[in-house]
Amino acid sequence: DYKFWKTQPVPALDSQISEEGPIDSKKTPADIPDSPLPMLGDFEWCEIDIHKENELEDLFVLLNENYVEDKDSSFRFNYTKEFFHWALKSPGWKKDWHVGVRVKKTNKLIAFISAIPVNLRVRENEFNSVEINFLCIHKQLRAKRLAPVLIKEITRRVNKCDIWQALYTSGTILPSPVSTPRYAHRPINWSKLYDVGFTGCPIDKTKTDMLAYYAVPNITKTEGLRPMEAKDVDATLELFNKYQSRFDMVQLFSREEFQHWFLGNDETEKVIFSYVVENEDGEITDFVSFYSLPFTILENAIYKDLGIGYLFYYASNADFEYNDRFDKEGTAALRKRLDSLISDTVVLAKTQKMDVFNALTSQDNSLFLQDLKFGPGDGFLNFYLFNYKAMPITDGLTEDKRFDTEKRSNVGVVML
Ligand code: MYA
Ligand code: JJ1
């Protein structure tokens, strides 16, 4: 019955929203306590300095052993150390928002939560916010009401910086999702996926049939497709902003943020991959990015780890020339372009030794999921706003949760 969430500024599960905006009455940082919440008996607060190898290692081990699993506990997210250098060091990041809990006596890290600053737009309203991610409590310390303490402490630290809204995602249902897209999976290395139980084989098909069906070429076919470079940032950001403008919920990127999220840094070479399509006139017509987030395979004698690429942000000018980007012709032009752009992206993921390519039914993904042989996953991702009530935001699913090839989602934000 949500004993904790009932006390927080989030809409109740059954509530109807008529007007969008903040839930709490306006406060100032001076209204917020200066010192951390009391921590339970044997534990103490700490900050994780990801530039210190031993602290980064503690964070990596905590999440590697205790973070999110699929619903049958066959797989667990295996965020890498390099990934944290990308995900937790975006412009404006603060060590104070990388919050851990340690056992006093042994110094063992047993819990973590993080925030990074972002600017959000929900429909016509823009506001400063944070994204909350990597909430994790050691398996042996679950169900002790520690999560609410972590959430209240990160809220305090963020409020102290005069930020009052947050965006977060979870596989679990809490009060109240603004949108719930579904995961979609495009097999690349079908036999490995089959061997580790990531996918089954339809009874009327042989393994040979499946391998042929899911075969992925080794080279891309789009003329002018190449890795994005620093010199492309301005033109690509302009294309991207125009593309994103039609969504109801987006993260707004400064030039510096765009550079960070798509070009990464020295530590993130194998984490984030960004490509552009440059035409003969030197214009950037398309842009696509994906990131690497492997699964640890739990209890398999042969394979320990599954390579997974996740579709991140993309943009295309394919529908810009249409008066209404949503009309039949605009949508058809975009579908055609995305079919070829994203099929090449799957090729690029294969080149990076990824076994499967994942996407959600957010953004314009439902236009190409079916065509490109993505299948529905058993996971859904709930999107939440803290201290902000918003009308539901459309995803690309039908009533019975299948891919709706005609329905473009209004969710334009991607979370890691
Ligand atoms: S989502 C990923 C979350 N992590 C995992 O799923 C990893 C594996 N699981 C665990 O580590 C634990 O099970 C966790 C809960 C830590 C999830 N989001 O301590 P408890 C509520 C929010 O006894 P535990 C991500 O990282 C639950 O409904 N609340 O439970 C985004 C119950 O409250 P209520 C959650 O299982 C996180 C209470 O916690 C979640 O030991 C966004 C029970 O606490 C969840 N995923 O620990 C956080 N799971 O009684 C919110 C359970 O009301 C941010 N609960 O039902 C809000 C914005 C804050 C900033 C605001 C700034 C302005
Ligand atoms: O990866 C996921 N599911 C896979 C594996 C399922 C294994 C059995 N449980 C899946 N495979 C199907 C493959 C597909 C079928 C049709 C034909 C082509 C092949 O469905 C799921 C997503 O679907 N992932 C998870 O469950 C991980 C957790 C998701 C919640 C994320 C919460 C994130 C929190 C971040 O803040």
pLDDT at 15: 95
- Cα–Cα distance, 394 to 407 (Å, whole number): 9
Give the number of other CB atoms < 10 A from CB of residue 385.
Answer: 25
pLDDT at 325: 81
Nearest CA to ligand 1 atom 46: 170
pLDDT at 111: 98
Binding pocket residue ranges, ligand 1, CB within 6 Å: 2-5, 66-68, 130, 132-137, 142-148, 151, 154-155, 158-159, 163-166, 168, 170, 172, 174, 386-387
312-371 confidence digits (pLDDT tens): 999 999 999 998 888 899 999 999 999 999 999 999 999 999 999 999 999 999 999 999
Q: What percent of the chain lies above the pLDDT cut of 90?
A: 97
pLDDT at 323: 82
Q: Quick check: CB of 294 below 6 Å from ligand 2?
A: no
127-160 confidence digits (pLDDT tens): 999 999 999 999 999 999 999 999 999 999 999 9
Give the number of other CB atoms < 10 A from CB of residue 180.
Answer: 20
What are the residue numbers of the active site?
A: 416
Region for 133 from its dihedrals, namely left if φ exceeds 0, alpha if ψ lies in -120 to 50, beta otherwise: beta
Asked whether the predicted pLDDT for residue 304 surpasses 90, the reply is yes
Judge residue 75's burial from the number of C-beta atoms within 10 Å of its C-beta, 0-12 exposed, 13-18 middle, 19 or more buried. buried
And the tokens for 266? 């020295």
Q: How far is CA 272 from CA 288, 292, 311, 352, in A?
A: 11, 7, 10, 11
- CA–centroid distance, 185 to ligand 2, in Å, is 8
Quick check: 80 and 271 in contact, CB under 8 A?
Answer: yes
Q: Whole-prediction pTM value?
A: 0.98
- Cα–Cα distance, 224 to 212 (Å, whole number): 28
From 172, 182, 185, 296, give the residue whose CB has the most ligand 2 atoms within 8 Å, as the site to mutate: 185
154-200 confidence digits (pLDDT tens): 999 999 999 999 999 999 999 999 999 999 999 999 999 999 999 99
**What is the atom index within ligand 2 of the atom nearest the CA of 183?**
23
Mean pLDDT of the chain: 97
pLDDT at 41: 86
Categorize the per-residue pLDDT at 384 as very low, low, confident or very high, splitting at 50, 70 and 90: very high
- Nearest ligand to the CA atom of 66: 1
Mean pLDDT over residues 58-64, rounded?
98
And the tokens for 344? 């090449």
228-278 confidence digits (pLDDT tens): 999 999 999 999 999 999 999 999 999 999 999 999 999 998 999 999 999
Mean pLDDT over residues 6-25, rounded?
96
And the tokens for 370? 């079916």
From 3, 64, 170, give the residue whose CB has the most ligand 1 atoms within 8 Å, as the site to mutate: 170
End-to-end Cα separation, the chain, in angstroms: 28
Label the pairing between strands 356-360 and 308-316.
parallel
pLDDT at 40: 86
